[in-house]
């Protein structure tokens, strides 16, 4: 599983690079989004339509 996750990580890094995105910023924005959902009580896995 570790090798497969490594492949996924490589693909994500390549896509971010092609789009000019910084993975640290992408990860931080995602954590902020999830924390916001948690504070609002909408962290339930039903997509982004909240």
Write out pLDDT tens, residues 1-50. 999 999 999 999 999 999 999 999 999 999 999 999 999 988 876 666 65
Give domain status of residue 47, yes or no.
no
Give domain status of residue 13, yes or no.
yes
pLDDT at 44: 76
pLDDT at 39: 93
Range of the domain at 20: 2-40
CA dist 33 and 31 (Å) reads 5
Give domain status of residue 23, yes or no.
yes
pLDDT at 43: 80
pLDDT at 31: 96
pLDDT at 2: 96
Give domain status of residue 46, yes or no.
no
pLDDT at 27: 95
Count of structural domains within the chain: 1
Compute the CA torsion angle 4, 32, 47, 2 (nearest 10 deg): 10
Give domain status of residue 48, yes or no.
no
């Amino acid at each position: 599983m570790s090798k497969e996750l490594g492949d996924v990580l490589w693909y994500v890094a390549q896509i971010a690079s092609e789009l000019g995105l910084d993975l640290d910023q992408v990860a931080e924005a995602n954590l902020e989004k999830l924390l916001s959902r948690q504070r609002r009580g909408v962290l339930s896995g039903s997509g982004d339509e909240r």
